[in-house]
Amino acid sequence: MQVSFTAIQLPIRPSSARALLSGLVLGALLSACASPPPGGVKVVDRTHGATNSTQQRQPVSSGQYRVQRGDTLYSIAFRFGWDWKALAASNRIAPPYLIRVGQIIRFDGQPAGRAPVVATAPVIVTPPPGRPSVPIQNKPTATQPPTPIKTSPSITALPPTQRSASGWLWPSNGPVIGRFSSNGSLNKGIDIGGELGQPVLAASDGSVVYAGSGLRGYGELVIIKHSDTYVSAYGHNRRLLVQEGQKVKAGQKIAEMGSTGTDRVKLHFEVRRQGKPVDPLQYLPKR
């Protein structure tokens, strides 16, 4: 039996036609954006400069990173918003958490590539405390005049001793000149003003897991691991007084305030809980 169908034409008003056409165009654009870019896996830029707020709020979940000289597992996790334990587990890095120059660290949960054979020693997350800490000084070139350094009004640089209920203390005296931004696209910590060379103190007991200038935007930086949950970071220092692997106590002088990586003398202080930035003022004693 042959069945025939009769097309029924319905009148479409011009406004409905325009809405339908707009929907079809939008669908096509979304479909195109959802398609993965050609060329394989994207390699994440080591500098990891300005990104949008969504990337800042969440850990990087795609791409990969090639280990550079001076990196530690903690500094890589800090840079890309990961908890160090989760990053180690995702890349099958077992204790004592050795990483090597040239090794691929992946953020998508896929098996990491094997590190190339290089004639260098492994980069150790917590090296023995015998390694000296060599501060890096900013030297102006002949063709580029030094950037003027802004300083805060004179203050008394006495080590703060008052602790919060959770055991934290202020890493330096001075006014808070920059506050934490909850949207993640701006300040991931607080900025404390002060004088050049003013003491920077450990905010709580812990172990130094990074001391150097390899993270763009932080200048001379110290990262302290306080527990499996919390780490704190101290940026823009003039001089570092501790080294990786060193145990520190709350109130111990770990650096001198400076302006490396920024345009004025200040301390940039961050607290991260399981790799995610949190407001340090929630942990510091009330002033």
pLDDT score at 221? 97
Of the listed ranges 97-106, 179-188, 222-231, 257-266, the least confidently predicted one is 179-188
Q: What is the mean pLDDT of residues 199-214?
A: 96
- Whole-model pTM: value is 0.62
Instruction: Name the token pair of 129.
Output: 């405390």
Q: Do domains 53-124 and 176-282 have the same CATH topology?
A: no
Residue showing tokens 């319905």: 10
Is residue 267 predicted with pLDDT exceeding 80? Answer: yes
Contacts (Cβ under 8 Å, ≥6 apart) of 265: 149, 150, 151, 152, 193, 194, 195, 196, 198, 236, 257, 258, 259
- The CA-based angle 269-271-274, given to 5 degrees, is 155
Of the options 3.30.70.890, 2.60.120.260, 3.40.50.150, 3.10.350.10, the CATH number for the domain spanning 53-124? 3.10.350.10
* Cβ proximity of 172 and 191 under 8 Å: no
Is residue 210 predicted with pLDDT exceeding 70? Answer: yes
pLDDT score at 13? 54
pLDDT tens digits along 223-242: 999 999 999 999 999 999 99
| Domain edges within the chain | 53-124, 176-282
Q: CA-based diameter of the chain, in Å?
A: 100
Q: How confident is the model at residue 17 (pLDDT cuts 50, 70, 90)?
A: very low
Residue among 202, 210, 227, 206 at smallest CA distance from 284: 202
Q: How confident is the model at residue 183 (pLDDT cuts 50, 70, 90)?
A: confident
* Cβ proximity of 250 and 232 under 8 Å: no
Tell the CATH topology of 176-282: Glucose Permease (Domain IIA) (2.70.70)
More confident residue, 117 or 149: 149
